[in-house]
Structure 1
Amino acid sequence: MAESSRSLIRRFFSGLWRGITWLRVALTNLLFLAILAVIAFALMPEQPRTLPDQAALHLAPSGFLVDQRTYIDPVSQLLGDSQWEETETVVRDLVTTIDAAARDPRITALVLDLSQLIGGGISKLEEVGQALATFKDSGKPILAVSDDYSQEQYYLASYADEVYLHPMGAVLLTGYGSYRNYYKSALDKLAVNFHVFRVGSYKDFVEPYTRDSMSDASREHNLQWLNQLWGIYTSRVEHLRNLPKGAVDDYISNLDTNLVAEQGDFAALAFKAGLVDHLASRLEVHQTLQEKFGPNADNTGFKAIDYRDYLAHIRRVPAAPGKRKIGLLVASGAIVDGEQPAGTIGSDSLARLLRQTRERSDLSALVLRVDSGGGSSFASEVIREELAATRRAGLPIIVSMGSVAASGGYWITAAADEVWATPTTITGSIGVFGMFPTLEKSLQKLGISTDGLGTTELAGALRLDRPLPPIAKNVLQQSVEDVYRRFLVLVAEARNTTPEAVHDIAQGRVWSGATAKDLGLIDQLGYLQDAIAAAAAKAGISDYSVELIERQLSPKEQLLKELASESAQLRIGTLSNWVPRSIRQTWGALIEPFKLLDSMNDPGYVYAQCLACPRP
């Protein structure tokens, strides 16, 4: 009897284990099949959407306007680790879409939804604005809608024929400013010794580490370009909205007083000031758009096509066989030595693209879009040399400056046939500096000392735990001065002038694109499309297509990117959706100088970088 009971128990647990094993294998197989299904779905070519016979174009840019998307590791994207990354909208995508829609009889109007736009700089806003102006000239209306309008959002809204604002919303205009944190007292308390070497009275990149306030020289040149850019902003808005001269400044200066008269009602004040045309709730806007353009298929919105779908549609049209091409290469971000992903300019990675470009026989010219405040002087020179070699190979090169092309960003443009900038581009900052921190005092406070010996005075001189000896200081200062002289010479040769004349307008001073044109630092004022047309003219062609030249993703990266794209649609939100923008911006401002320090890898510790070059 006991033996029978033990046998029964053994059979029970044996069956239970077989059941568990079967379930485990079944679940594993199901998971494997699910993964295969997701991969197949991700790799399946997307079916093109059929465009309606007539519809409005729904243009809803999100995040920051950029010239190039920041590279995010596909694995991090897939796992959802990039929660703090803001979304980005490529300016050229918007311009291409708007220009095509202006010529397309199927597109009857443009609805500009600005609720998700964060900013990106007036230069980029101007490029989109010029495209909007072309759309209006085609006779098609533009409607702008948003619950609120920030300064950046409102600039684009001012191009609209009708501007809608929520009755509880606001138009918040503040003007431009340049504020930063200064760390000298904090560094003194931490006993961090920053050794600074620079050339140029206006080269203020180092000031946050050596001062507790902005220098007079920094105030002087920053105020100049800030006033110029703000003057362009206000005059443009006042012209587009048919407002009297000075109306925008008056709106800001008397905001508190005028709000009292409106009992604190921001929306009513914006309407009274002529900044908006209609105060309407979301439901009222929804009904208005349905009345104007008709309801969509399920009656949840108005009859429209999203600009991303429309862009995908127009890009599916293949270029005519044998058509000549203009290459477009984007250099966006800090200039750093070595291999770097998109969103940072790596000397080796960009040089490789340039070498590949000049070996192609189907390109008639190259447009280099520069959006950079500079970085490593050595990396800048490596890139300039490759551009010069590409030009010598017979490929015309036109530079188009974006929001900023200063310091090292200006350095690399010296090899171009022509340099174009927008009136609001921030450029110049021709100057260099070196920084080397030592922590010997900090370590002493912790009871850590450093001792040893060397065969020369320079042995171990560049250790963070030792004081910087006088000979090393002299060497670094002379190195900075030598790089500055080289900078002056290459600019003088490129601009057909003398190093002495360049020095008079250099010394780290920052200029707007309009002033840079007057000073001879650039050739023409215009936007990316103008630079592309100039490149075609330089190459002697009139019928051409534009090809974006960028690093090709590996098959593994492409697969992970597709998977990440699919999984992103399943996520409900990220931290950036619920953390207030003001907190994110403040945190970003606090850590930005330390992020810049971390990216500094110039082999000679000499940098051509502009800190006073934000994108207002």
Structure 2
Amino acid sequence: MVATLLELDLTQPLLEAPPQDPISAALARRRPLLRDLVDGLRLATRDPDVAGLVAHVGGHPVALAQVQELRSAVRAFAATGKPTVAWAESFGEFGPGTVPYYLATAFDDIWVQPSGDVGLTGLIAEAVFVKDALAKLGVLPQMSQRYEYKNAADTFLASEMTDAHREAAGRLAASAMEQIVAGIADGRGLESGQVRELVDRAPLSASQAKDAGLVDELGYRDEVYAQLRRRLGGVRLRFVHRYRRARQLEPRHALSRLSKGPAVTVVHGTGDIHLGRSTRRGLGGTSIGSDTMGAALRAAASDSDVRAVVLRVDSPGGSYVASDAIRREVRRVRDAGKPVIVSMGSAAASGGYFIAMASDTIVAQPSTLTGSIGVLGGKAVVRDLLDRLGIARDGVAEGRNAWMFSAYRQFSDDEWQRLESWLDQVYDDFTAKVASDRGLSREHVEGAARGRVWSGADAQARGLVDELGGFERALEIACAHVGISRDEADVRIAPRLGILERMRSPESSEDLAAAATTLVGPGALRGPVDLLTAAFGVPRIGVLTTPVLWRLR
């Protein structure tokens, strides 16, 4: 029998969650699911027919937290003694290539094209500020925040980083760089000090990188594959996600899914959080609607076969009320005697942290953006902009504060005080629930809160996260909670819906079809601030939104 050489194409973005509607599935059909890659490598570690692994690294950057999840899976595969090889035309074509190179160091051997570079230049934490642009347009943002680290509001209120913003962003970049340096040092057999010196010398040519011990061989794709074939003999190539799918279709795996054995349900929450049904965002992205996620969690709680739930969260937050509604459903799953384990993706902050904090265990990657226990609120006043365009608005109102949220009028002093009081109330509720859910004192929570975003590693040190790891680790914990092994668990994605069920209108809020994502919905854009953020290419703003404007590159 011809052995299999597995391939990873890491030149394109990876899907965080499976598509929830036909359009999203069509748009994302060539993009593999992160979980499929990790699970495929797990299955391959014990498959004698799999001879090795080769990966094409580069192109579109993979998120740092996803890189760490893949690195763990690759290292576990390499521990079996099977060869692992990463190759790239260039790790940044005389440009940034730190994160792709960090991914490559999980492999035993690294090749780079002779004309390529190793752009191990470090990381930048960037933020976008639109205050001055808004002023030129005649738009006045009126926003307040709790507290100094809730920097999503700074996007609209400041022209550069505040001291608190710079401090928090600096620590995020430093934490991420510490993780990258440690990973590179371990993968390449170097000291951390040596890696730091090479970072300061980069970008390096291919030959310089080889001399420094950062790469093993210089060569082109055909030379990489020719060497592997000489080493392994006759092999057939197969992408990891295709291999995983084929394994899942094998009779013994198919029968195990049809059996009524103990099940662990996986509920995905990806995107910004809002009230109502989850919707498709843009080219394949999704949002988290409280109705949709609540229905999925209720279905898991009522399914007698389900022993535990893994909640995968990748969200910068959004609505406070929607986040609280989802947190309630998490607690109800636990009240039904089923543990809930949270696996955090690239970000699970502010509202994303709110929906995670009531779980039994929180697992995050070291680079996950989390915390951001704070709140912001306000509006953008567009009267001057409309006046310049010759557009006038007028009306009559009943009720002293009927105009409070109008984008055509500024807050009155009394309305501003009402906004400030409401922000205090939300912040107090958020911190109190963190303390209760995490078993921490209010004083301790306050020290970790004030809107500050933490890396997963720093969040664990402060009791906001329980363990560092990825989705597979969360599954292991869920299985251990209910006394079953990872291999015997029937892992299901919730909700289990066919195409017709996804398309039809639900009969009631208890109908499983209520857990389906809609193609469009009222959560798509929600007011003037949302329109402005969309225009400037920054995320939608909810009162529990974290500043994912920071880009580590």
Counterpart for residue 376 of structure 2 = 433
In structure 1, what residue type is equivalent to 2:470?
Y
**Cα pair distance change 1:324/1:547, threshold 3 Å:** same
SS of the residue corresponding to residue 10 of structure 2 reads coil
Counterpart for residue 275 of structure 1 = 214
Whether 2:548 is the aligned partner of 1:611: answer yes
Counterpart for residue 162 of structure 1 = 109
Counterpart for residue 453 of structure 2 = 510
**Cα pair distance change 1:215/1:87, threshold 3 Å:** farther
SS of the residue corresponding to residue 32 of structure 2 reads strand
Counterpart for residue 444 of structure 1 = 387
SS of the residue corresponding to residue 414 of structure 1 reads coil
Whichever structure has more helix as a proportion of its residues is: 1
Superposition pairs of residues 322-471 of structure 1, within 5 angstroms? 322-341=260-279, 343-471=286-414
Whether 2:128 is the aligned partner of 1:181: answer yes
* Kept in 2: contact 1:294–1:303 (CA 8 A): no
Counterpart for residue 516 of structure 2 = none
Counterpart for residue 175 of structure 2 = 228
Deviation at 1:284, TM superposition (A): 2.6
Q: Distance in 2 between matches of 1:286 and 1:497?
A: 54
Superposition pairs of residues 204-243 of structure 1, within 5 angstroms? 204-243=151-190
RMSD: 2.5
Larger-gyration structure (1/2): 1
Counterpart for residue 549 of structure 1 = 494
**Cα pair distance change 1:409/1:59, threshold 3 Å:** same
Superposition pairs of residues 69-80 of structure 1, within 5 angstroms? 69=18, 74=23
Q: Distance in 2 between matches of 1:506 and 1:371?
A: 20
Counterpart for residue 122 of structure 1 = 64
Q: Distance in 1 between matches of 2:209 and 2:29?
A: 29
Deviation at 1:383, TM superposition (A): 0.7
Match of 2:79 among 98, 113, 137: 137
Deviation at 1:491, TM superposition (A): 0.5
Q: Distance in 2 between matches of 1:349 and 1:106?
A: 41
* Kept in 2: contact 1:61–1:89 (CA 8 A): no
SS of the residue corresponding to residue 308 of structure 1 reads helix
In structure 2, what residue type is equivalent to 1:324?
P
Deviation at 1:431, TM superposition (A): 0.1
Q: Distance in 1 between matches of 2:42 and 2:114?
A: 32
Deviation at 1:353, TM superposition (A): 0.8
**Cα pair distance change 1:615/1:104, threshold 3 Å:** farther
Q: Distance in 1 between matches of 2:12 and 2:534?
A: 19
Counterpart for residue 54 of structure 1 = 3
**Cα pair distance change 1:92/1:441, threshold 3 Å:** same
In structure 1, what residue type is equivalent to 2:416?
K
SS of the residue corresponding to residue 313 of structure 1 reads helix
* Kept in 2: contact 1:204–1:611 (CA 8 A): no
Compare 415-424 and 447-456 and name the one that shifted more.
Answer: 447-456
Compare 119-128 and 352-361 and name the one that shifted more.
Answer: 119-128
Superposition pairs of residues 522-561 of structure 1, within 5 angstroms? 522-542=465-485, 543-550=488-495, 552-555=497-500
Note the alpha carbon deviations across 1:233-264, whole angstroms, 9 max, x for none. 011111111123223332232237xx6xxxxx
Note the alpha carbon deviations across 1:439-498, whole angstroms, 9 max, x for none. 122223344444444344323332222233222222222111111111011101112233
Whether 2:231 is the aligned partner of 1:292: answer yes
In structure 2, what residue type is equivalent to 1:511?
W
**Cα pair distance change 1:161/1:55, threshold 3 Å:** same
Counterpart for residue 298 of structure 1 = none
In structure 1, what residue type is equivalent to 2:103?
L
Match of 2:142 among 182, 191, 195: 195
Deviation at 1:95, TM superposition (A): 1.0
Deviation at 1:392, TM superposition (A): 1.0
In structure 1, what residue type is equivalent to 2:239?
D
Deviation at 1:506, TM superposition (A): 0.4
Compare 169-178 and 57-66 and name the one that shifted more.
Answer: 57-66
* Kept in 2: contact 1:71–1:341 (CA 8 A): no
* Kept in 2: contact 1:406–1:610 (CA 8 A): no
Deviation at 1:367, TM superposition (A): 0.9
Q: Distance in 1 between matches of 2:466 and 2:535?
A: 33
Which 5+ residue runs of structure 2 have no aligned equivalent? Answer: 92-96, 281-285, 504-531
Counterpart for residue 254 of structure 2 = 318
SS of the residue corresponding to residue 153 of structure 2 reads helix
Q: Distance in 1 between matches of 2:303 and 2:552?
A: 35
Q: Distance in 1 between matches of 2:271 and 2:496?
A: 16
SS of the residue corresponding to residue 14 of structure 2 reads strand
Deviation at 1:553, TM superposition (A): 4.7
* Kept in 2: contact 1:64–1:86 (CA 8 A): no
In structure 2, what residue type is equivalent to 1:215?
T
Deviation at 1:65, TM superposition (A): 3.0
Deviation at 1:323, TM superposition (A): 2.3
In structure 2, what residue type is equivalent to 1:65?
L
Deviation at 1:230, TM superposition (A): 0.6
Q: Distance in 1 between matches of 2:469 and 2:351?
A: 21
Identity in percent = 32
In structure 2, what residue type is equivalent to 1:414?
M
Note the alpha carbon deviations across 1:497-552, whole angstroms, 9 max, x for none. 33333122200111122222221112223322222111112112233222122462
Superposition pairs of residues 590-609 of structure 1, within 5 angstroms? 594=536, 599-600=540-541, 606-609=543-546
**Cα pair distance change 1:293/1:474, threshold 3 Å:** same
Q: Distance in 2 between matches of 1:54 and 1:137?
A: 19
* Kept in 2: contact 1:399–1:416 (CA 8 A): yes
In structure 1, what residue type is equivalent to 2:34?
V
Q: Distance in 1 between matches of 2:42 and 2:449?
A: 38
Which 5+ residue runs of structure 1 have no aligned equivalent? Answer: 1-51, 260-265, 296-301, 559-589
SS of the residue corresponding to residue 402 of structure 1 reads strand
SS of the residue corresponding to residue 398 of structure 1 reads strand
What TM-score, normalized by structure 2, do the two folds share?
0.85
* Kept in 1: contact 2:127–2:549 (CA 8 A): no
Q: Distance in 2 between matches of 1:504 and 1:537?
A: 32
Q: Distance in 1 between matches of 2:117 and 2:462?
A: 40
**Cα pair distance change 1:448/1:96, threshold 3 Å:** closer
Counterpart for residue 24 of structure 1 = none
Counterpart for residue 485 of structure 1 = 428
Counterpart for residue 567 of structure 1 = none
Q: Distance in 2 between matches of 1:548 and 1:502?
A: 33
**Cα pair distance change 1:452/1:367, threshold 3 Å:** closer
* Kept in 2: contact 1:353–1:551 (CA 8 A): no
Note the alpha carbon deviations across 1:202-243, whole angstroms, 9 max, x for none. 000011211111111000011112101111101111111112
* Kept in 1: contact 2:538–2:549 (CA 8 A): no
Q: Distance in 2 between matches of 1:323 and 1:372?
A: 32
Deviation at 1:427, TM superposition (A): 1.2
**Cα pair distance change 1:344/1:449, threshold 3 Å:** closer
Counterpart for residue 12 of structure 2 = 63
Note the alpha carbon deviations across 1:288-341, whole angstroms, 9 max, x for none. 23323446xxxxxx6322323311111112253342111111112211221123
Deviation at 1:428, TM superposition (A): 0.8
Deviation at 1:385, TM superposition (A): 0.9
**Cα pair distance change 1:164/1:444, threshold 3 Å:** same
